[in-house]
Amino acid sequence: MEYFLELILGGLTRGSIYALIALGYTMVYGIIQLINFAHGEIYMIGAFTALIFTSVLTLLGFNEIAVIVLASLAAVIYSSAYGYTVEKIAYMPLRRASRLSPLISAIGMSIFLQNYVLLAQTSDFLPFPNLIPEFEFIKPYRHIISSPEIVILITTSTAMILLTFLIKFTRTGKAMRATAQDRNMAMLVGVNVNRVISITFVIGSALAALGGVLIASHVGQINFYIGFVAGIKAFTAAVLGGIGSIPGAVLGALVLGLTESFATGYVSSDYEDVFAFGLLVLILIFKPAGILGRVTARKV
């Protein structure tokens, strides 16, 4: 029973990290129908920024809490700036082009950013310090859940609650929903659509950066390629839940995380991906629009 609980909590932790990244995919897709393949790289850049800031801040003698907070903040700001710039350079000029062009541009951006980090940093795995301290109160339950897992669960759920609030109730959120439903009409009622798209990229990138910091600190090492793998997983989660749907992305990510966790726990960690992608194949066969996705009839 305890083992089962441990797997569940492990799966939820993994799932909530996927969710942070998947949200970026699904929000961008919802608004401009683009699969932003460079999104995983934004996550990777977040992790690298956090690593650099952690090293510098620790050298300068800041205390543990200050290091975590400042490094995460720096990662969020840097990644948002990258996300914003990528959209302006690679996608905005192609707004009126066919849907394939920005997709290819996205793949190009992904390759470019990977190699840019490879050149600017290194191709080796870099050790990432464990930023999250051991809590005293967690000691008796250590065999079930670790401190980093608790921090990840709390941070991600807070981020998701904030995001839901933002989209449901704020002026910006309404503009985002309106743009997603009918971009031209949103423009005609006076919404600055380009701005809304920029904001979407910034929010998605900030969430991905947060995910990057948390997972890097949990796993303990990073390299320039982590964005690709995480990106594919998060993309799978978004498709699983129904791409374009925000609750769908979270649900898909949690389902994916739990599946992987159980596959690792009861079968073998070698089969983790087999189960994850097997699940995707099954969902796509029986519910092609994803768990929460709606089938939209296209007018001919």
Residue type, 198: S
Residue number, 49 or 200, with CB nearest to other proteins: 200
Nearest to 273 by CA among 283, 260, 282: 260
Query: Which one of residues 190, 270, 296, 300 is an interface residue with other proteins (CB under 8 A)?
Result: 190
**187 contacts other proteins (rule: CB under 8 A):** yes
Torsion, Cα 58 59 61 65, to 10 degrees, reads -10
Q: In angstroms, what is the minimal distance from the CB of 288 to other proteins?
A: 21
**188 contacts other proteins (rule: CB under 8 A):** yes
**199 contacts other proteins (rule: CB under 8 A):** yes
Q: 126 pairs with which residues across the strands?
A: 222
Instruction: Supply the angle between the helices 2-32 and 147-169 in degrees, to the nearest 10.
Output: 30
Query: Which one of residues 189, 285, 297, 300 is an interface residue with other proteins (CB under 8 A)?
Result: 189
**186 contacts other proteins (rule: CB under 8 A):** yes
Count residues binding other proteins (CB under 8 A): 25
Residue number, 132 or 175, with CB nearest to other proteins: 175
Measured between alpha carbons, how far is 106 from 35 in angstroms, rounded to an integer?
Answer: 8
- Both tokens of 6, joined, read 């441990």
Query: Which one of residues 66, 185, 229, 284 is an interface residue with other proteins (CB under 8 A)?
Result: 185
Helix or strand (DSSP H, E) at 141: none
**158 contacts other proteins (rule: CB under 8 A):** no
Query: Which one of residues 192, 221, 268, 269 is an interface residue with other proteins (CB under 8 A)?
Result: 192
Residue type, 285: I
* Spatial CB neighbours of 82, under 8 Å, sequence gap ≥ 6: 42, 45, 113, 205
Q: In angstroms, what is the minimal distance from the CB of 206 to other proteins?
A: 10
**CA 26 remoteness from chain centre:** 10
Residue number, 64 or 182, with CB nearest to other proteins: 182
**166 contacts other proteins (rule: CB under 8 A):** yes
Residue number, 1 or 189, with CB nearest to other proteins: 189
With beta carbons less than 8 A apart as the criterion, state whether 33 and 106 touch. Answer: no
Interacting residue ranges for other proteins, rule: CB under 8 A:
162, 166, 169-175, 177-178, 181-182, 184-193, 199, 203
